[in-house]
Amino acid sequence: MSKANDLPTSENIRKTYELWLESPCFDEATKSELYSIKDDWPEIEDRFFKELQFGTAGLRGVIGAGTNRMNVYTVRKATQGLADCISCEGEAAKARGVVITYDSRRMSREFSEAAALVLAANGIKTYLFKDLRATPELSFAIRYLNCMAGIVVTASHNPKEYNGYKVYWEDGAQIATERAESIIASIAKINDFAAIPVLSKEEALTKGLLVYLDEQVDDQYITAVKKQSIRSDIINKVAGDFKVVYTPLHGTGNRPVRRVLKEIGFKNVYVVPEQELPDSEFSTVRYPNPEDKKAFQLSIELAKGKEAQLVLATDPDCDRVGAVVKNDSGEYVVLTGNQTGALLVDYILKQRKEAEHLPDNGAIIKTIVTSEMGADIAKGYGVEVMNTLTGFKYIGEKIKQFEAAGDKTFLFGYEESYGYLAGTYARDKDAVVTSMLICEMAAYYYDQGMNLYQALMALYDKYGYYLEDLKSITLAGKEGLEKIGWIMECFRGNPPAVIGDSKVIVVEDYARQQNRTLPKANVLKFILEDDGWVCLRPSGTEPKLKIYAGVKGNTLQESRERLAQTIAWMVHQIKEN
């Protein structure tokens, strides 16, 4: 994140804007778009007050012309930085190449081809899928094709105005912090967009530097996903009666999720017809995110008509999945990411233990803002739980460490924002395998005369009523960036002694590395005396300050009240600042 004193002056912002208008490097469509805002200084400032930041894994931003936007030029610049880092690894690394996938968003294909042709101009072989694919398949494809790196063009669950660009390394995980810093340093050396080499598509194909992939990778990926199924016997037993409604929310999940569910034996899977096909405008939803309850409106309507036991929705790049089940009143309710995660932890460990396949050195990995309920459940099975910073890349890094050391067996990894992974065929969250496991888990309880809501209530009765929530405060533009930085420093310099009615017993400042087992990060976590916690973190992909909170009570109502009070207190303090 840029510091306030690093931001350019109004004069420099104006000069950069005029350069984009005058330079022959930029096409006429770009210049026309910029000319249309010539009298709108706030818009000019927002587009040019900084460069779109290459963060811990890549780019994400609003699509448009300008240095602080996602466009062909910012994509080319980021790709040249990546190309320089690959070239430093030698000719063998360049020959191993890069695989690229993209989702259904605006400009995704164009950005993918722009990246491929910059790589080709640097002599780096690139594999490109002919049409959209899910992000987790990119993670799988890197190791399957023995590539040096991978790129996925997606903004995940962001609104339709956004797109993004994430970089993965040879292990199939998003790039580690050190690698990201190396790419950022290479990008910083590029001062002239016109100096970035770009090969034509025809020449790249002729030279064998651009290769379009067939369905072989798809088949191998689906095979790897199906190997994570635990109780195929249960699926076969109830498949005739069990009904699932699924929506890909206009994204990439339609083919892989439906295929894997069909191939493992589910017979009654109904897809929401209005949301089945890719649509860059996400025309039936305000926000294509399974974390948003409104995204389930059409799927719940279909589920009522079909009397389905389960509803699933995946986000546009199919790395997150949300679930809906009936409560005791017969109403369809959306499970939180933490609730689904706790259910999966219990199901996976229970089935492994019963089958005598639970290793002594097994480990569950979660993030620091994920509920402690799953950790409590895992400990009940004698399984170690490890925490990472927010972001699945850190879970991927742990899997790599486990395999290198041979001291731990990865069982399951997850985060509160609907991201989960079972198996090590991929190193990123995967909504395809998770959709399969949620359906299998729901079928297991269905065979016992229960649904997932009742299973969750049983876990609450056993382990306590854990509840969590997330509140995001949007602070856009240059002033917003400065405000977020200032708020974090205020809480860092003068941490609260009490949050709501709960005493703060520990302050964890990850920027000062008081917890030296994790990398530095601009994150503050306050541990409360009554099994509660609050975490304050600037978003790495959006202009937001995020407030995470978790509580544990003796009843659901008690937990709801405490959670609402905790969040309200934090929001009030931030607005007062």
C-alpha span between 516 and 31 (Å, rounded): 48
Strand pairing report for 268-271 and 243-247: parallel
DSSP at 8 = P
Instruction: Give the separation between CA 373 and CA 342, rounded to whole angstroms.
Output: 6
User: Tokens 């000319």, residue?
Assistant: 35
List the structure tokens of 31: 């210049």
What's the maximum distance between 2 C-alpha atoms anywhere in the chain?
70
> CB under 8 Å to 37, separation ≥6 — which residues?
43, 44, 47
DSSP summary character for residue 123: T
Would you say how long the chain is, in residues? Answer: 577
* Collapsed DSSP state (helix, strand, coil) of residue 226: helix
- How many Å apart are CA 440 and CA 244, to the nearest integer? 11
The catalytically annotated residue of 156, 186, 299, 502 is: 156
Strands 310-314 and 243-247: parallel
DSSP strand pairing (98-102 vs 149-153): parallel
Is the Cβ–Cβ distance between 428 and 135 less than 8 Å?
A: yes
Distance CA 298, CA 301 (A): 5
Residues 66 and 68: their CA atoms lie apart, in Å, by 5
Inter-residue contact 186 to 77 (CB < 8 Å): no
| Centroid of chain to Cα 518 | 19
Any bridge partners for residue 508, and if so which?
A: 525
Alpha carbon distance 570, 50 (integer Å): 29
Q: How many CB atoms lie within 10 A of CB 572?
A: 10
In the residue annotation, 156 being an active-site residue is answered as: yes
- Contact between 247 and 163 (Cβ < 8 Å): no
Cβ–Cβ < 8 Å for 417, 304: no
Strand, helix or coil at 498? Answer: strand
Alpha carbons 235 and 267: distance in angstroms, whole number: 10
Burial of 555 (0-12, 13-18, 19+ CB in 10 A): exposed
Give the residue numbers annotated as catalytic, written as ranges. 156
